[in-house]
Structure 1
Amino acid sequence: MNFQHKTLLALAITAALSGCGDDGKDGQNGADGANGTDGSNGVDLIAAPRLTRLATVPLGAEITGLFKTDNGELFFNVQHPSDTLDAPENNAAVGVIEGFDIDQLDPRLAAVSAPASGAAEAKQVNLAIGSYKVLGRAGDTYQGALPFGLGSINNGDESAALKQSQDPDFNAFVASNADGSEGYLFTSWEDRPGAVSRMNVARADEGSWSVSDVMNVDFSGVLGTLINCFGTLSPWGTPLVSEENYEAENTAHWNDSSYTSGYPGYNDVKLLQDYLAGTYPNPYHYGYIVEITNPTSANPVPVKHFTLGRMAHENAVVMPDQKTVYLTDDGTNKAFYKFVATNAGDLSAGTLYAAKVTQDATSDTARAGMNISWIELGSATNAQLATWIADYDGIDETDYVDGATSYITDAEIQDWADNNTGDDRYAFLESLKAAAAKGATTEFRKMEGININYHGVAANTVPFMYVAMSEVAKGMSDTSGDIQLTENKCGVVYRLGLDASYNTSRMEPVVVGGPYDSTAAANACATSGISNPDNLLVLDDGRVIIGEDTSNHENNMIWVYNPAGE
């Protein structure tokens, strides 16, 4: 491809994204072109990628829990809607779109409009196609099946409520019959402590969904969970729930009674202590991927995989070899991880790696890709790690010393990294600090959902993984380190190619948010494009579903990105 063609293609892509999928408009110095043709000087253009707004949600709400069934049904949640909304819209919702198959979505579908400020549409779910069926709202009791209500965070024996959550996050549907018309919908509740509800749901012949039973997964056997965020369904059919422990690298504050502003802070740790019937929690029990085994049994069994590292897990996605797992760490100045299991289908033993990136020679966020190499951090088993974690039992706030730590020290981690001294506990219990000490890149800002189309990757028809960077800022946009990009407060979706061994060695921007206007009262990020992408799904034909978690759009949105255009 010659330079002029490359330039025109880049311009066409930018126009398509900023124009919410209009047909090839505004070629440089040329007439508007249908489907990307007739650009500058008469050169035909390849059809530009298309971005279509599929849905909007009520004021204040985040879009979470994007999950597509094998039959093309799309579940998603309305998380923490504004308290100013009238009931029942002021309560979080878990739901599904009825009346369409997302795998058969018309690529020329007309986008749903962005609601006007103050309009009725701004206070409800709006869809370009189909209708949103609420399966449950925060506080619903289902005729007593949940005595304290859907999303209630209860103590370990479910005898008392600790708090009511408005934060449903990850959904996973596990079919219980051959045609996928019945099954169990698992929903994470992103709170401190965390919870997971399970609904028995069924789809009638005419396409409507109903709920017949609801329960909470019992996490007392793994000492509870913390900030249960996004996730995926493993290739062998088990939900993989992410504990987003934002304070994983700040373990020194865990038993600091003055540290009340953290996520979690001391008050949250005390609620965990209530969950544990008075035992002060060990911080090294929280911040992992939790696999829910036996998901269709009367009593699903959670397993915490210490082997996948302790961090602010946003998501883990398992490759078709059932051994390679990619993991994102949400927050500021974070790392990107890969895990390779010792045995396929078993995450209880393996090796953890962290990414080292080399940025292209441009600071343009819309153009700069990054080459990736992988630094080995350590190898371990869950059983080994459980023994090491137990070394920090029995510590509480009475042991806290200002300016010191009751737990693993930075000096221990650096000595391990420099001299290969001690065991590999540091790689798994203090993963971010271990990655930094080993020289990995720890500058990512708000790395969110990561996902693949499993069958497309297995067959090499969609050999890509996508990851959402909610915004490019702070460590990613300063003038030091491995990443030095222009700030983009609206975020970027990156694409990562996968080779035959499911390794990735490069990430490139494909959907770029903005422009950003700090003076805009309602929508600081233009409503014609993405703002702070979070959940991602990859469809069978390579299209990508993008859900927002943003305050830069008055109403959060779901988008369909079509890299092939129309």
Structure 2
Amino acid sequence: MVDLTRRRLMATSTAAALGASVSGVASASESEISEGDTPGAPSVKGSLKRLSTTAFGAEVTGPFVFEDGSLLYSLQHPEEANTEPFDRAAVGYFSGFNFEFDGNNDDFSEVGIPDTEAKQREVRSEVGDYEILIQGREPINGGAERLGVAQTPDGTDITQDNFAGTQYGGAATNPDCNQFVPTDDEGTEGYLYTNWENSPGGLSRVYISQDENGEWSADPEDAMNIPNTDGLRELGGTRINCYGDLSPWETPISSEENYAHPRVSLTNTVGDVVEAGSGEGLLGGCQFWNRPNPSEIAGAIGTYAEEGDLDEAWGPQGYWALTGVEFLAYYLGAEVPDGDEEPGESVVTPIDDVYPNPYRYGYHVDVREPTAEEPEPMKYWVAGRASWEAPDFQGDNKTLYGCSDGDSKGIYKFVADEPIPSYENTDNIAGTIYAPKITNDAANAEEAGQRNSPANTNLEVEWIELGHATNGEVKEWIAEYDDVTQTDYLTTHTEYSEDELGLDVSYNQAIREADLEVIENGNQNYISNEEIVEWAAQYEEAGPDGVDEELRKVPFLEMRAAAKEIGASIEFNKAEGVDSVDDSQPGDFVYFGISEFNDDLADETGDIRMDRVDGGVVFRAELEPNYNVSTLEPVITGPDFTDSPQDADDGLRNIDNVYAMRDGRVLCCEDGFGGPARSYPNDGLYVFQPNVSLDVDSIAVGYGATGAAELTASSLPTGFSGAEVTVSVTNPEVATITGVEFPEELGLTESTVGSDGTSATLRFADVDGNVEAGGRNIPVATLTLRGVDTGTTDLELEVTQMDDESGNAIDAQTRRGVLVTGPPTVAGGSAPTDVDGDGFFEDLNGNGRLDYEDIQILFDNFDADSVTMNKSAYDFNENGRLDFDDIVSLYEDIN
């Protein structure tokens, strides 16, 4: 199979990645890094309408839209002083409301701002009452469990009422993602899966059904907590289950937001630690995972600094998320240490029997057989370990985009070798993980002091391959660290034996000595700093497939550290949302929500250097033919936190979950409670209606051959009556327009192609009303283009007039395409073709497929003018020149 994802990102104007559409231009603006008047903040490329505000203290999380258009979301950690029932974590739906799926926000009235305390204490909307379906900690399963509360193997609720140690959030107070798996064809009954952001993590399943009046109800007797099943406990359980997805194969996906995974803090790299000879001021929280009382490391570091053992205090990134690790040990069956600790107190005595393996947390969990009596959870170990806020599986059943939440984090990509459902044994799932490299030269910052607004700047992304493995291989690598305990932290990093601890040597003394050793030389119980640096050195020399076998584990288990070490753009701050329509196809959009555009995104270093917008940005990217994305286009920009309430009250602030509906609209959830700028403290649920976009395909044509490029409208929420559009070829020496065809649905059509083929003017009208409002990716014309000479040209659009079904002007934006003309015939016969739409012409014999004859032709004609004068067509290893490794790369593609 041809490995499409290895291919290069072509430059936007001359050789843009085939299939990628481009819109918008970068514009520099004078601004300081500090909060200021950033141009375009707040702004929306489309319309944004507030559907609901949530109760005081609560985020809006876990939106889900049912088949009939009814809507629910989670009420996450509301303040207990709120009006009942909004004083307790819950999941509820809006009674009597259904989206109409016509792409138009006219199907609901906007709710006003909550301008009184009474309004701020409740969930509000103009579409119907928010009816509670389920609430955290309510009895389920005959009273044997409480919803969202994990238990020990013997059935004891893991709460601070029962155990000593720290807990990440109150048990069952943080419901997040919701996914519904129907059990009937109508979608009126089935199982609601809900994430609970705790440690141990929570994932509940509750049977819900809809009556003939459209009202939903839940059955707590037919409910279960998936962590309390043997299947998930055998995987190690989960921690901090945040958002998720419904896979194309209709299984719920739950992602672990393991904030405690950073090895190094912020912009530091492991190489910095090795070079400095110490991790002082550089290390991240994961280095203290198996420390007794791990979350108290920052306070301990402060004490060591005061006493002169360290130069200064610092807080290792993610240390606060080490809360709940002891409770995770109890979940796995560890005994409570035999000390003086009481429930709710800290534990100093080390846990030495069962302890969680850090490399088992920070993955996407797929619940297979979701409607069975006992579901079958599995983890995508092979997709990499991060602080996963959200996943998004694409319609090819192979490509997965994920956002890692927190400061200085990444957006990542995983591509399976084969469609994931085709693997009978999930251990055999094989694929490649990628990290992003932002390639538009520090966001086009031209000189010091000149900064671009993120509202006006596209981010061009090239994906760096980190490694390839199978799920089973990564699982085996993880298992190597299963038996490490808190006692090992002390005995490995001090000279004390296990027998001496607590007897001849106090635990506090041993912890102090171990901490200082770990700060100096790293935690030797897990992957070492030296292994990561050596992996990076071998990677730079021989590529991801050329590293030693024992180092292949590094990018999968230490994804962020590995990506930083080889120069990936791990700069995103709070990447909290990613989603596309179900069963997405090329041409659809993937939406990425960046909750805050500050810190690494708005500093003087790195690949992204722009104005600061603490209110965040929502980007979208168009799926290319191989399901790659290469351009992140800002469509919603939040307010500056120095903006006045007049500007900020109706802006989207700190995007969290994004949810793409099937009609092209996007639900946008806020996680900005209590921040400045607004006149009210509540978070809201907004609905984004994108502008109509007119898009022309990107295509590859053979030398002297013709190809077809389709002209489509992204959506027509207010219908369509007609339009006049001009299409131009920017480089007529490469290709010309030879003809235009229109769909039969358009009643009146006319086209004029210029005599030189450089442009065509199209006029068309829907006189019979065949183009219905609410559709997506509606074809309006097909252009025939002829390849004149080898090269690349842009296809540009200009809309002279475009009207909706009522005669009102449609303010349509345009997205240009790219045409690549392939090289001439190499060895007689047909001209080479690009069989997979990636801009490379691997089919040298022109028979429409990649085969061994193509390898032989390239080898035999390597010095021929038809090859050497068309370097861009045959640079299969993407190093900017022709060499024999291009032949090897093409050979690898066929195997």
Q: Kindly indicate whether the alpha-carbon contact (under 8 Å) linking 2:592 and 2:618 is maintained by their aligned counterparts in 1.
A: yes
Deviation for aligned residue 1:148: 4.1
Q: Kindly indicate whether the alpha-carbon contact (under 8 Å) linking 1:16 and 1:51 is maintained by their aligned counterparts in 2.
A: no
Provide the C-alpha distance between the structure 2 equivalents of 1:156 and 1:254, rounded to a whole number of angstroms.
22
Instruction: Name the aligned partner's letter for residue 216 of structure 1.
Output: N
CA change 1:266–1:450 in 2 (3 A) is closer
Instruction: Name the aligned partner's letter for residue 132 of structure 1.
Output: Y
What is the aligned partner in structure 2 of residue 361 from structure 1? 444
**Structure 1 residues 500-509 or 93-102, which shifts more?**
93-102
Deviation for aligned residue 1:243: 0.5
What is the aligned partner in structure 2 of residue 11 from structure 1? none
Provide the C-alpha distance between the structure 1 equivalents of 2:597 and 2:41, rounded to a whole number of angstroms.
18
1:153 and 2:236 equivalent? no
Provide the C-alpha distance between the structure 1 equivalents of 2:406 and 2:431, rounded to a whole number of angstroms.
25
What is the aligned partner in structure 1 of residue 459 from structure 2? 370
1:176 and 2:183 equivalent? yes
1:59 and 2:56 equivalent? yes
Q: Kindly indicate whether the alpha-carbon contact (under 8 Å) linking 2:41 and 2:455 is maintained by their aligned counterparts in 1.
A: no
Larger radius of gyration: 2
- Tell me which of 561, 575, 584 is aligned to 1:433: 561
Aligned to 2:91, what secondary structure does the other structure show? strand
**Structure 1: runs of 5 or more not aligned:** 1-5, 8-13, 22-47
Instruction: Name the aligned partner's letter for residue 149 of structure 1.
Output: R
Deviation for aligned residue 1:146: 4.6
1:387 and 2:473 equivalent? no
Q: Kindly indicate whether the alpha-carbon contact (under 8 Å) linking 1:56 and 1:127 is maintained by their aligned counterparts in 2.
A: yes
What is the aligned partner in structure 1 of residue 383 from structure 2? 308
**Structure 1 residues 85-94 or 325-334, which shifts more?**
85-94
Provide the C-alpha distance between the structure 1 equivalents of 2:684 and 2:535, rounded to a whole number of angstroms.
45
Provide the C-alpha distance between the structure 2 equivalents of 1:220 and 1:399, rounded to a whole number of angstroms.
23
Q: Kindly indicate whether the alpha-carbon contact (under 8 Å) linking 1:17 and 1:50 is maintained by their aligned counterparts in 2.
A: no
Q: How does 1:48-197 map to 2 (within 5 A)?
A: 49-104=46-101, 107-108=105-106, 109-118=108-117, 120-142=118-140, 145-162=142-159, 164-197=171-204
1:335-368 CA-to-partner distances (Å, cap 9, x unmatched) read 1111011220247321111110124425212111
Instruction: Report the aligned-residue RMSD.
Output: 2.4
Aligned to 1:67, what secondary structure does the other structure show? strand
What is the aligned partner in structure 1 of residue 597 from structure 2? 472
Provide the C-alpha distance between the structure 2 equivalents of 1:533 and 1:543, rounded to a whole number of angstroms.
15
- Tell me which of 526, 530, 536 is aligned to 1:417: 536
Provide the C-alpha distance between the structure 2 equivalents of 1:264 and 1:342, rounded to a whole number of angstroms.
37
Deviation for aligned residue 1:389: 1.2
Provide the C-alpha distance between the structure 1 equivalents of 2:375 and 2:439, rounded to a whole number of angstroms.
43
What is the aligned partner in structure 2 of residue 254 from structure 1? 289
Aligned to 1:247, what secondary structure does the other structure show? coil
Deviation for aligned residue 1:50: 1.0
1:245-300 CA-to-partner distances (Å, cap 9, x unmatched) read 00112321101225315566555111111001111111111111111111000101
- Tell me which of 492, 501, 514 is aligned to 2:626: 501
CA change 1:384–1:16 in 2 (3 A) is closer
**Structure 1 residues 388-397 or 73-82, which shifts more?**
388-397
Q: Kindly indicate whether the alpha-carbon contact (under 8 Å) linking 2:40 and 2:456 is maintained by their aligned counterparts in 1.
A: no
Provide the C-alpha distance between the structure 2 equivalents of 1:447 and 1:265, rounded to a whole number of angstroms.
17
Provide the C-alpha distance between the structure 2 equivalents of 1:147 and 1:258, rounded to a whole number of angstroms.
31
Deviation for aligned residue 1:149: 2.2
What is the aligned partner in structure 1 of residue 706 from structure 2? none
1:203 and 2:205 equivalent? no
1:535 and 2:542 equivalent? no
**Structure 1 residues 100-109 or 214-223, which shifts more?**
100-109
Q: Kindly indicate whether the alpha-carbon contact (under 8 Å) linking 1:327 and 1:338 is maintained by their aligned counterparts in 2.
A: yes
Provide the C-alpha distance between the structure 1 equivalents of 2:481 and 2:42, rounded to a whole number of angstroms.
52
Q: Kindly indicate whether the alpha-carbon contact (under 8 Å) linking 2:182 and 2:191 is maintained by their aligned counterparts in 1.
A: yes
**Structure 2: runs of 5 or more not aligned:** 1-23, 26-37, 161-170, 264-285, 297-317, 335-353, 446-451, 494-514, 539-546, 693-717, 719-895
Q: Kindly indicate whether the alpha-carbon contact (under 8 Å) linking 2:41 and 2:613 is maintained by their aligned counterparts in 1.
A: no
TM-score, length of structure 2 as denominator length? 0.56
1:394-440 CA-to-partner distances (Å, cap 9, x unmatched) read 21222223222021122211211211233321111001011112221
Deviation for aligned residue 1:103: 4.0
Provide the C-alpha distance between the structure 2 equivalents of 1:560 and 1:130, rounded to a whole number of angstroms.
16
Provide the C-alpha distance between the structure 2 equivalents of 1:511 and 1:491, rounded to a whole number of angstroms.
8
- Tell me which of 182, 197, 214 is aligned to 2:223: 214
Q: Kindly indicate whether the alpha-carbon contact (under 8 Å) linking 2:39 and 2:455 is maintained by their aligned counterparts in 1.
A: no
What is the aligned partner in structure 1 of residue 615 from structure 2? 490
Provide the C-alpha distance between the structure 2 equivalents of 1:331 and 1:18, rounded to a whole number of angstroms.
22
Q: How does 1:318-337 map to 2 (within 5 A)?
A: 318-337=393-412
What is the aligned partner in structure 1 of residue 808 from structure 2? none
Provide the C-alpha distance between the structure 1 equivalents of 2:98 and 2:39, rounded to a whole number of angstroms.
28
Aligned to 1:145, what secondary structure does the other structure show? helix
Provide the C-alpha distance between the structure 2 equivalents of 1:157 and 1:383, rounded to a whole number of angstroms.
30
Provide the C-alpha distance between the structure 2 equivalents of 1:263 and 1:146, rounded to a whole number of angstroms.
35
Q: Kindly indicate whether the alpha-carbon contact (under 8 Å) linking 1:103 and 1:539 is maintained by their aligned counterparts in 2.
A: no
1:22-41 CA-to-partner distances (Å, cap 9, x unmatched) read xxxxxxxxxxxxxxxxxxxx
- Tell me which of 545, 559, 576 is aligned to 1:448: 576
Provide the C-alpha distance between the structure 2 equivalents of 1:156 and 1:67, rounded to a whole number of angstroms.
32
CA change 1:395–1:161 in 2 (3 A) is closer
What is the aligned partner in structure 1 of residue 14 from structure 2? none
Q: Kindly indicate whether the alpha-carbon contact (under 8 Å) linking 2:39 and 2:453 is maintained by their aligned counterparts in 1.
A: no
TM-score, length of structure 1 as denominator length? 0.87
Provide the C-alpha distance between the structure 2 equivalents of 1:479 and 1:18, rounded to a whole number of angstroms.
23
Aligned to 2:414, what secondary structure does the other structure show? strand
Deviation for aligned residue 1:74: 1.9
Aligned to 1:351, what secondary structure does the other structure show? strand
Provide the C-alpha distance between the structure 2 equivalents of 1:241 and 1:272, rounded to a whole number of angstroms.
18
Provide the C-alpha distance between the structure 2 equivalents of 1:178 and 1:270, rounded to a whole number of angstroms.
44
Instruction: Name the aligned partner's letter for residue 325 of structure 2.
Output: V
Q: How many residues align?
A: 520
Aligned to 1:96, what secondary structure does the other structure show? strand
Q: Kindly indicate whether the alpha-carbon contact (under 8 Å) linking 1:495 and 1:510 is maintained by their aligned counterparts in 2.
A: yes
Q: Kindly indicate whether the alpha-carbon contact (under 8 Å) linking 1:194 and 1:225 is maintained by their aligned counterparts in 2.
A: yes
Deviation for aligned residue 1:196: 0.7
Provide the C-alpha distance between the structure 2 equivalents of 1:409 and 1:343, rounded to a whole number of angstroms.
33
1:457-511 CA-to-partner distances (Å, cap 9, x unmatched) read 32x5x61110110000111111100011111111111011111111100101110
- Tell me which of 344, 351, 354 is aligned to 2:419: 344
1:560 and 2:687 equivalent? yes
1:288 and 2:363 equivalent? yes
Q: Kindly indicate whether the alpha-carbon contact (under 8 Å) linking 1:167 and 1:190 is maintained by their aligned counterparts in 2.
A: yes
Instruction: Name the aligned partner's letter for residue 576 of structure 2.
Output: E
Q: Kindly indicate whether the alpha-carbon contact (under 8 Å) linking 1:373 and 1:505 is maintained by their aligned counterparts in 2.
A: yes
Provide the C-alpha distance between the structure 2 equivalents of 1:104 and 1:410, rounded to a whole number of angstroms.
52
Q: Kindly indicate whether the alpha-carbon contact (under 8 Å) linking 1:17 and 1:49 is maintained by their aligned counterparts in 2.
A: no
Provide the C-alpha distance between the structure 1 equivalents of 2:399 and 2:653, rounded to a whole number of angstroms.
30
Provide the C-alpha distance between the structure 1 equivalents of 2:672 and 2:153, rounded to a whole number of angstroms.
33
Instruction: Name the aligned partner's letter for residue 538 of structure 1.
Output: A
What is the aligned partner in structure 2 of residue 237 from structure 1? 250
1:220-255 CA-to-partner distances (Å, cap 9, x unmatched) read 121111000000010001111101100112321101
Aligned to 1:392, what secondary structure does the other structure show? coil
1:203-229 CA-to-partner distances (Å, cap 9, x unmatched) read 111101111221111221211110000
1:282-336 CA-to-partner distances (Å, cap 9, x unmatched) read 1111111111111000101110111111110111111111001111111111111
